[in-house]
Amino acid sequence: MNAVGDAARPLPPERAQAIARAFLPAHPLGNRWDYYYSRVKLGSDPLYPGVLQALRGCRAPLLDLGCGLGLLAHALRLDGQTMTYRGVDSDAAKIGRGVRAAARAGLDAQFQTMDLARELPRHRGSVVILDVLQFIPFAQQERVIDAMIAMLTPGARLVIRTGLDDGTRRARITVLVDKLSRLWGWMNAMPRYYPDADALRARLAAAGLQVEFTPLYGRTPFNNWRIVAVRAE
């Protein structure tokens, strides 16, 4: 299978299990939610292979906006990618648990709590924002996109995964599940605005970036796409 096809597959079970072990509770009777979530997420969603492929060969420092538990940091190290990693998220509880899991796995990663709808960290290098953009209101979303573009150094990469507003059945399912994620308490915000593909492509291209859109939903029912934008060297 070609590289794009391989990126549409989830991580192999043994790799998903290796990462998930860092999220086991310290006590045998402790809460195993993060462990099972990580194992299922990594083993069923092609998100991480797709992002790993997009970042290979780039050593620019990486900022992970909306990092959640920091699963990408674990996947990068397992893939042999050693760029500096910093993750930020508005959910302080997830950040705390991500810090503990990273320490347990021996990762050299930084984490910070930050509300992306209100502020953004200073950064120069590559940026990823995965399954988060749709939770930021439209006006702030444009500001976030422009800020991410400004962070890119020559050769650095912006990697986005997001649902797109294209009127398909997949798009409707994506909206429903994102809303349920808020009701279930996994996400701390409701979805606000799903990007239009043509408008997003034009905004990135107007900034002088090389842009590529690739479906990244694999066997899931969601309308998730990978957008890779590269700042020419």
Domain ranges of the chain: 46-231
CATH of domain 46-231: 3.40.50.150
Which residue stretches of the chain have pLDDT < 50? 1-3
Q: What is the pLDDT of residue 139?
A: 85
203 membership: H or E segment, kind and range? helix 197-206
Judge whether 54 and 226 are in contact, CB under 8 Å: yes
For the range 222-225, what are the long-range contacts, defined as Cβ-Cβ under 8 Å and sequence gap of 24 or more? 222/163, 222/170, 222/173, 222/174, 222/177, 223/163, 223/164, 223/166, 223/168, 223/170, 223/171, 223/173, 223/174, 224/47, 224/131, 224/161, 224/162, 224/163, 224/174, 225/161, 225/162, 225/163, 225/164, 225/197
- The encoded tokens of residue 41 equal 């997420």
pLDDT of 196:
93
Predicted local confidence at residue 175, as pLDDT? 85
Query: Do 174 and 223 form a contact (C-beta atoms < 8 A)?
Result: yes
Is this model's pTM higher than 0.85 or not? yes
In the prediction, which pLDDT does 2 show? 39
Query: Residue 32 and residue 67: Cα distance in Å, rounded?
Result: 20
What is the rounded CA–CA span in Å between residue 12 and residue 77?
A: 15
